[in-house]
Amino acid sequence: MVDFATHALPLISSDIKVVAGSVDSLETTQTLRTGLHVGFPMWGELDAVKVSADTGAPFQQGEKTFLHGTGWLLNPDGEIVQSLYSTGPIGRFTASDIIRKVLFERR
């Protein structure tokens, strides 16, 4: 998320909208958003099991249930054109990945 916040101007200049979601409470999500100085919308209280069932995103269930790192690039019609699923700390979209993909697809 920090990478996307840091690269807000190139994303905005490319007319790319960013949103993030979390299974954490609304309060925790807002605290994270504020602490990271994120300017894009962040939704909280997502249902990890439902998101996983709807999208195939991997999730961890147990003492704490959470979604693993998942990213989607949507076209203007809301269809997924690129997805990335990760079950560990590596394997996330970067802002530059998204900008390059969008600019390539617009050609």
CATH architecture label of 2-106: 3-Layer(aba) Sandwich (3.40)
Q: Give the bridge partners for 60, in sequence order.
A: 66
| pLDDT for res 94 | 96
**Pair of tokens at residue 67:** 């979604």
pLDDT in tens, 68-78: 999 999 999 99
Pairwise CA distance, residues 81 & 7, whole Å: 21
| pLDDT for res 84 | 94
Domain boundaries, the chain: 2-106
| pLDDT for res 18 | 96
Residue with token string 């970067």: 94
| pLDDT for res 89 | 83
Q: How far is CA 104 from CA 2, 68, 81, 99, 107, in A?
A: 24, 28, 13, 8, 6
Measured over the CA atoms of residue 5, residue 21, residue 66 and residue 35, the dihedral's sign is positive
| pLDDT for res 27 | 96
Pairwise CA distance, residues 37 & 20, whole Å: 13
| pLDDT for res 65 | 82
| pLDDT for res 19 | 95
| pLDDT for res 61 | 87
Q: How many CB atoms lie within 10 A of CB 13?
A: 9
Splitting the chain (107 residues) into consecutive groups of 10 residues, what average pLDDT does each group show? 92 95 94 92 94 91 88 93 90 95 93
